[in-house]
C-alpha cells in the first residue's frame, strides 16, 4: 500500500522534474493565461512565475517533512503526526475542496477547447479523460503516474516548441513602441492612463483605478502559492524522490519548465491583444466572444469578426480548425491535460 500511494524513494532527478512539470501543466495553460492579457506584461510575468515558484517551496518543505517523519504518506498524514487528528481533518477538507476546483477547471478548459475549436460536445472529452486517468492511476498508483508524466511532459515540450517557432515566424501583428508610453482612456471623466500595456488596464471597480498588472503582484502569489500548498498532487512527488537532493533539484527543473511554458503562453496572449494594431483590445474584452480560446486568435485564419445588430457591434470569434498548427495546439492541450489530471 505504501508503494502504491507514495512510490517511496523510487525516482531520480529527471523523473521527479518531469513529474512536477506535468503535474502543474494542463489545458488551463492555453485557456486561462492568454485570457489574462488585460493585466499587461507585468501581470502575465507574475502569473507565469507564480505558477512555477510554489513547486520549489513544496520541495523544501517536503525535504524537512521527509527528514522528521520519513513514513508519512500525504500532507494530511503529516498533519496528524505533527499536530493531531483535528488538524488532519481540517487539512483534508481544504485539500479536497481545492483539488476539486482544480479538476473542474481543467475539465472545463478541455471541454471548451473541443467545443469551440472542433464543434463537438464538451462532455465527451471530459468523460474520456476522467475515465482514462482513473483507470491507469487505480491500476498502478503514483508509480505509473510519475512514469506517464515523463512521456507527457516531453511530448508537451516538443509540441510547445513547434507552436513557438511557428508563431515566431508567422506573427505579423502590431508591436507597440515604446510600450510604456501607450495610453488608454477608459473613463470619460478621468484622465488617460499611460503604460496600460505594461501594467495592465485600470480596474473599473476600484475607486483608485489600480492597474490589474499591479494588483497581480499581490493577488497571484497568494492565490497560486495557496493552491499549490493545498494540493496533494505536488506533495506526492516529495515522497517519490530517491533522496532529498534529488527532490530539490527535480523541483527546480520542474519549476523552470513550468515558468517557461507559461511565459510562452503569456506571450501569445499579449500578441493576441496587440495584433492588428490592438484590434482585439486588451481593455475591451467584450469584443471577444470566448476568452477561453484567445490563444487561437493568433493562429492563421482562425480569427473572424461576427457582426450583430447595427452600428458596428459584433464580436471576434474563432472558426473551427483551419490549419495544422491548430491541431498541434489542441494535441498539446490534450497531452498536458492528461498529465495534470494524474493525481
pLDDT at 310: 43
67: CB partners within 8 A, 6+ apart = 244
Question: What is the predicted pLDDT for the residue at 281?
Answer: 42
Q: What angle do CA 92, 93, 97 make, to 5 degrees?
A: 115
The residues spanned by each domain of the chain are 2-285+329-340
Rounded-to-integer distance, Cα 248 and Cα 221, Å: 21
Backbone Cα Rg of the chain: 21
The stretches in the chain having pLDDT less than 50 are: 276-289, 305-314, 343
pLDDT in tens, 273-318: 776 444 444 433 434 446 677 777 777 555 554 444 444 444 555 5
Buried b (16+ CB within 10 A) or exposed e, 155-170: bbbebbebbbebbeee
* pLDDT tens-digit map of 96-116: 999 899 888 888 888 888 887
Give pLDDT tens digits for 28-47.
Answer: 888 888 888 888 888 899 99
Instruction: Name the CATH superfamily housing domain 2-285+329-340.
Output: Hydantoin permease (1.10.4160.10)
What pLDDT does residue 213 have? 75
Amino acid at each position: 500500500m505504501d508503494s502504491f500511494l507514495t512510490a517511496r524513494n523510487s525516482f531520480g532527478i529527471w523523473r521527479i522534474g518531469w513529474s512536477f512539470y506535468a503535474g502543474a501543466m494542463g489545458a488551463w495553460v492555453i485557456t486561462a493565461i492568454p485570457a489574462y492579457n488585460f493585466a499587461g506584461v507585468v501581470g502575465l510575468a507574475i502569473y507565469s512565475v507564480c505558477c512555477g515558484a510554489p513547486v520549489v517551496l513544496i520541495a523544501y518543505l517536503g525535504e524537512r517533512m521527509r527528514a522528521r517523519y520519513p513514513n508519512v504518506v500525504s500532507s494530511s498524514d503529516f498533519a496528524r503526526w505533527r499536530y493531531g487528528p483535528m488538524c488532519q481533518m481540517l487539512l483534508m477538507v481544504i485539500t479536497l475542496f481545492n483539488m476539486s476546483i482544480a479538476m473542474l477547471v481543467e475539465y472545463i478548459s478541455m471541454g471548451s477547447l473541443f467545443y469551440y475549436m472542433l464543434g463537438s460536445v464538451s462532455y465527451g472529452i471530459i468523460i474520456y479523460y476522467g475515465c482514462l486517468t482513473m483507470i491507469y492511476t487505480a491500476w498502478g498508483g503514483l508509480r505509473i503516474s510519475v512514469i506517464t508524466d515523463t512521456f507527457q511532459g516531453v511530448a508537451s515540450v516538443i509540441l510547445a516548441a513547434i507552436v513557438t517557432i511557428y508563431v515566431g515566424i508567422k506573427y505579423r501583428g502590431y508591436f507597440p513602441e515604446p510600450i510604456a508610453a501607450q495610453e488608454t482612456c477608459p473613463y470619460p471623466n478621468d484622465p488617460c492612463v499611460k503604460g496600460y500595456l505594461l501594467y495592465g488596464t485600470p480596474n473599473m471597480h476600484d475607486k483608485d483605478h489600480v492597474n490589474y498588472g499591479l494588483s497581480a503582484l499581490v493577488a497571484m502569489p497568494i492565490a497560486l502559492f495557496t493552491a499549490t500548498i493545498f494540493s496533494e498532487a505536488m506533495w506526492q512527488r516529495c515522497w517519490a524522490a530517491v533522496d532529498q537532493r534529488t527532490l530539490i533539484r527535480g523541483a527546480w527543473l520542474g519549476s523552470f519548465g513550468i515558468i517557461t511554458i507559461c511565459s510562452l503562453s503569456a506571450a501569445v496572449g499579449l500578441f493576441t491583444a496587440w495584433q492588428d494594431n490592438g484590434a482585439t483590445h486588451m481593455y475591451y474584452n467584450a469584443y471577444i466572444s470566448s476568452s477561453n480560446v484567445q490563444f487561437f486568435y493568433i493562429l492563421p485564419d482562425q480569427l473572424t469578426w461576427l457582426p450583430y445588430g447595427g452600428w458596428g457591434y459584433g464580436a471576434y470569434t474563432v472558426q473551427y480548425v483551419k490549419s495544422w498548427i491548430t491541431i498541434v495546439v489542441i494535441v498539446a492541450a490534450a497531452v498536458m491535460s492528461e498529465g495534470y489530471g494524474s493525481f
